[in-house]
Amino acid sequence: MGAGQPAGVSAGPEQGRRGADCPGARHRHSYHPAAGRAAQAAAYPLRRPHPHALHTGQGQAVYHYQRLPPAACGNHQRISASPAARPAAASANGAVGMICLDCDDLFGTWRLQARWLLSHEIDPSQVSWKSPDAADLFGSEEEYSQEQGPFQARVPLELVQLLESASRYRGDQRWSLLYEVLWRVTHGDRTAMMAGDKLGSELHRRLKSVRREAHHLHAFLRFVALPPVADDAAIMRPQYVAWHEPAHDILLSASEHFIGRMGQHRWMIATPQDGVYYEGKQLIHERRCPEAWQTMARQVEDPHGELWLTYYSHIFNPARLNPKVMEGHFPSRFWKNLPEGPLIPALITQARTGKQRDGQASDIAARRGKKIAHRD
């Protein structure tokens, strides 16, 4: 999986043979990679392309992987997040132990690690991605040099794009699932990319969650104007700031949407994890959001806040309220970071206790009406 890959590779005749007659076929779609893999390997040995037959042509990409020498260091081995990956651990009897990795939640780092694992045909059931603290419980800190591995794989460009998008999902087996999909596709089973497959279904569910979270950023993020100061431009101080709490790592990719909308204004978005700052020409991303950014975004007061609350409370239509539909399109986890958030529970309560009958806010109903002149 390298940069600038050509178009994806279609499944060849060898790849199309793995169907329902494979003894491990019913296990291939299991979410747990260990199930049925021994039966699969016995029935359909892996076919490696001849070294002289490898080439890069129209519509395919050939990747050369690197072998690293094994080193004994107990039953578990950590592979470093640096490009110089570390090898699997070998126990005293020569068996390969569980490999625990830390990619620092970076797709580029995971790709380097997956490249090394795939080159040595290390089964997904033998690999686990953990946080740095968890990985330290199992791993060794010794570094190893890189060597070329024996297995060479063809990776469709479409798969690389799917894996990169799905890598923004935060959840259990965030990186392990990606390697399981990669393993199956590079060993001839392209159904792992499809929504009809059990593993592919989980992959596409994550892709949908990531896309939906990006939509939430566009819909529910509110910029607040900072009070102008004399040397704003000189110190490159943002003119607008916003605080958002996304469920997935979508800030960098989704925030490009605001470059066109905000014009040449300088703006900043801070989250509990990362932050972005657009200084008028380029978008700057900080993977660890500075505390100063977080403080600025969370403590700013909107000078037009009261006007907006008045407007929102008056356009709220209790006669059309459907709490379940509202929650589906406007999740309550975003309410606390929106100026109208504190009003919503009270407006819903009023609608449930009778406002749906008259459809008029109480403060509006209390006002005296105006007599409309009769026209003959």
User: Mapped to the 3 state alphabet, what secondary structure does 237-296 carry?
Assistant: CCCEEEECCCCCCCHHHHHCHHHHHHCCCCEEEECCCCEEEECCCCEEEECCCCHHHHHH
- What's the N-to-C CA distance of the chain in angstroms? 80
**pLDDT value of position 20:** 38
* DSSP H or E segment with residue 225: strand 224-225
CA distance 202 to 193: 10
The top-scoring range by mean pLDDT among 93-102, 124-133, 337-346 is: 337-346
How would DSSP label each residue in 321-348? --HHHHHHHS-GGGGGGSTTTTHHHHHH
Q: Is the pLDDT of residue 71 over 90?
A: no
Write the pLDDT tens digit of every residue in 83-103.
334 443 333 333 446 789 999
Q: Is 72 helix (H, G, I), strand (E, B) or coil?
A: coil
* pLDDT beyond 80 at 291: yes
> What is the reported pLDDT for 249?
97
The pLDDT, as a whole number, for residue 362 is 62
Residue type for position 64: H
* Residue of higher predicted confidence among 46 and 217: 217
Q: Quick check: 11 pLDDT over 60?
A: no
Strands 224-225, 62-63: pairing is unpaired
Task: Please tell me the predicted confidence (pLDDT) of residue 259.
Answer: 95
Q: Concatenate the DSSP letters of all residues of 205-222 into one string.
A: HHHHHHHHHHHHHHHH--
Residue 131: what pLDDT? Answer: 57
Q: Give CA–CA dist 226/229, Å, rounded.
A: 9
The secondary element (H helix, E strand) that includes residue 153 is strand 153-154
CA angle 264, 266, 272 (to 5 degrees): 140
pLDDT at residue 264, as a whole number: 87
Tell me the whole-structure pTM to 2 decimals.
Answer: 0.66
Out of 56-60, 104-108, 167-171, 276-280, which region has the weakest mean confidence (pLDDT)?
56-60
Question: From its phi and psi, is residue 48 left (phi > 0), alpha (psi between -120 and 50) or beta?
Answer: beta
The answer to which of 57-61, 150-154, 312-316, 366-370 has the lowest mean pLDDT is 57-61
What mean pLDDT comes out for the span 258-266?
92
pLDDT at 361: 57
What is the band of 364 on the pLDDT scale with cuts at 50, 70, 90?
A: low
- What is the number of residues in the chain? 376
Confidence of residue 360 (pLDDT cuts 50, 70, 90): low
Amino acid, single-letter form, for residue 25: A
Task: Tell me the pLDDT band of 317, cut-offs 50, 70 and 90.
Answer: confident
Boundaries of every domain in the chain? 22-48+59-212, 221-299, 305-365
Average pLDDT over residues 182-202: 95
- 197-256: pLDDT as tens digits: 999 999 999 999 999 999 999 999 999 999 887 776 667 889 999 999 999 999 999 999
pLDDT(32) > 60: no
Q: What percentage of residues in the chain have a pLDDT greater than 90?
A: 42
Q: Which two tokens stand for residue 2?
A: 């390298």
Strand ranges inside 46-133, DSSP E: 62-63, 76-79, 98-101, 127-129
Q: How far apart are CA 192 and CA 159, in angstroms?
A: 10
The more confident residue out of 145 and 251 is 251
Percentage of the residues of the chain whose pLDDT score is greater than 70: 64
Tokens (6 digits) for 4: 């600038």
Mean pLDDT of 19-31: 37
Q: Mean pLDDT score of the chain, rounded to an integer? A: 74
CA of residue 186 relative to chain centroid, distance: 22
